[in-house]
């Protein structure tokens, strides 16, 4: 009976006016994303040595394309998005299998699919699809149902299957982020704390086994994190040069296009993984904190959507997408400052790269749909 009523409400609201939904879009948030992407354009212009055609212009075009997709998704009824969640997850999983079978190899890893106009990294898309499908799974669950361990087995497999596939690429950093995202979604859905403690104990017990099965370069990254000076010209080179660039920027920075570590090519991967270091060198502590402030405002809006949504699906979706964005920022900044081992995690909307840009904006399109339709009530909890 409830499903019939839900379909009738969906049909009634589907014809809501375009202009009405247009006014519901949080344009300040859209401007915030444009500001973050603008920081990326400036940083990539500098990373290209003042040549916008090297990185910056492609970054701008990708953002413009992704912005259109994001705004288009904002008008899609969030209930249709909820219904499509299993299909989105299935697509993400199929792409992970495809990349394992026929993916493009680069830097010793098999992580990309060549689409002709861009290199797609399915692991980035999978993070958004995982949040989406877990929000769909949990949004009808009552408190009593959440206490049933059998109810948690299917979503646990939904998390572990992509974690294993991503780890095998190999991509340890992203697989850990996917695992952490799953943990956030379980926690936000009301899973009791002792179950997290049990899983944490199992992971701690398995840590030595995982370490022995890591590839040589992965173990080298961990050892370098503990002592970068042990191999200053090899495994420790990247983080040492990053710290030099961070410290040399001072309070106000060396000035736009004046970063010596970056422009003399001492700073590795300055257009991708170490773009935050380049910002800090040229614009100093003030520029670095300003960039972090903009990024944290994005996370803050995700939390606002979670607080304002009347439906559990939107709340879980917003919390998961906010956590995904936060993990991007935290891991990248902690990586380049020496807080965690170096890995291939970009700074969202700022680093050069198509997959992260497209999937991040795809996620924000889903977030805007939840905001535009935040006052809907659907998915009543079932025992």
Angle between helices 2-14 and 78-102 (to 10 degrees): 90
For residue 97, give both structure tokens.
């299998």
Evaluate whether 278 touches 262 at the Cβ level (below 8 Å).
yes
Per-residue pLDDT of the chain (383 residues; tens, 9 = 90+): 455 555 555 544 544 467 777 888 999 999 999 999 999 999 999 999 889 999 999 999 999 999 999 999 999 999 999 999 999 999 999 999 999 887 777 666 778 888 776 788 999 999 999 999 999 999 988 777 877 888 889 999 999 999 999 988 888 888 989 999 999 999 999 887 777 777 777 777 777 777 676 667 666 667 666 556 555 656 577 788 888 888 888 999 999 988 888 777 777 788 888 999 999 999 999 999 999 999 999 999 999 999 999 999 999 999 999 999 999 999 999 988 888 887 778 999 999 988 899 999 999 999 999 999 998 877 655 55
Return the pLDDT at 193. Answer: 77
With respect to residue 359, please indicate whether it lies within any of the assigned structural domains.
no
Domain count, the chain: 1
β-strand pairing of 104-106 with 119-120: unpaired
With respect to residue 337, please indicate whether it lies within any of the assigned structural domains.
yes
With respect to residue 36, please indicate whether it lies within any of the assigned structural domains.
no
Domain with 323, as residue range(s), is 85-345
Evaluate whether 325 touches 306 at the Cβ level (below 8 Å).
no
Residue 144, exposed/middle/buried by CB under 10 A (0-12, 13-18, 19+)?
exposed
Q: What are φ and ψ of residue 41, in 5° steps?
A: -60, -45
Return the pLDDT at 15. Answer: 46
N- to C-terminal Cα separation, the chain: 16
Gap between the Cα atoms of 229 and 207, Å rounded: 25
With respect to residue 142, please indicate whether it lies within any of the assigned structural domains.
yes
With respect to residue 202, please indicate whether it lies within any of the assigned structural domains.
yes
297-312 in b/e form (b: 16+ CB < 10 A) is ebbebbeebbeebebb
With respect to residue 176, please indicate whether it lies within any of the assigned structural domains.
yes
Classify residue 229 by its DSSP letter: G
Residue 330, exposed/middle/buried by CB under 10 A (0-12, 13-18, 19+)?
middle
Gap between the Cα atoms of 308 and 173, Å rounded: 32
For residue 193, give both structure tokens.
């704390």
CB atoms < 10 A from the CB of 372, how many?
A: 24
Return the pLDDT at 170. Answer: 81
- The total number of residues shown for the chain amounts to 383
With respect to residue 183, please indicate whether it lies within any of the assigned structural domains.
yes
With respect to residue 148, please indicate whether it lies within any of the assigned structural domains.
yes
Gap between the Cα atoms of 92 and 81, Å rounded: 15
Strand-by-strand arrangement of the 104-106 sheet: 104-106, 109-114, 119-120
């Amino acid at each position: 009976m409830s499903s019939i009523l839900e379909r009738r409400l969906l049909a009634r609201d589907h014809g809501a006016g375009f202009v009405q939904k247009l006014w519901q879009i949080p344009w300040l948030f859209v401007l915030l994303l444009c500001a973050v992407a603008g920081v990326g354009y400036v940083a990539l212009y500098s990373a290209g040595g003042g040549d916008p055609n090297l990185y910056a212009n492609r970054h701008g075009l990708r953002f413009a394309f992704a912005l259109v997709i994001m705004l288009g998704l904002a008008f899609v009824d969030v209930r249709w998005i909820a219904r499509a969640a299993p299909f989105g997850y299935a697509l993400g999983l199929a792409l992970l299998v495809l990349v394992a079978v026929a993916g493009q190899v680069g830097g010793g890893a098999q992580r990309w699919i060549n689409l002709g106009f861009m290199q797609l990294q399915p692991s980035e898309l999978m993070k958004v699809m995982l949040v989406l499908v877990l929000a769909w799974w949990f949004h009808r669950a009552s408190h009593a149902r959440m206490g049933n361990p059998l109810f948690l087995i299917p979503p646990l497999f939904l998390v572990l299957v992509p974690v294993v596939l991503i780890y095998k690429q190999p991509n340890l950093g992203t697989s850990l982020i996917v695992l952490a995202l799953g943990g956030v979604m379980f926690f936000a859905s009301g899973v009791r704390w002792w179950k997290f403690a049990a899983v944490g104990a199992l992971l701690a017990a398995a840590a030595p086994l995982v370490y022995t099965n890591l590839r040589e370069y992965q173990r080298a990254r961990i050892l370098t994190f503990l002592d970068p000076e042990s191999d200053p010209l090899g495994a420790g080179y990247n983080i040492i040069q990053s710290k030099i660039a961070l410290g040399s920027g001072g309070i106000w920075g060396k000035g736009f296009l004046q970063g010596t570590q970056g422009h003399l090519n001492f700073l590795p991967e300055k257009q991708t993984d170490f773009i935050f270091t380049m910002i800090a060198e040229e614009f100093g502590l003030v520029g670095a904190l300003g960039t972090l402030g903009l990024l944290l405002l994005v996370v803050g809006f995700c939390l606002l959507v979670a607080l304002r949504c009347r439906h559990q699906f939107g709340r879980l979706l917003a919390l998961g997408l906010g956590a995904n964005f936060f993990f991007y920022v935290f891991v990248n900044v902690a990586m380049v400052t020496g807080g965690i081992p170096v890995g291939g995690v970009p700074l969202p909307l700022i680093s050069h790269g198509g997959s992260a840009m497209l999937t991040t904006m795809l996620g924000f399109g889903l977030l805007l749909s939840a905001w535009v339709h935040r006052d809907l009530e659907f998915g009543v909890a079932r025992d």
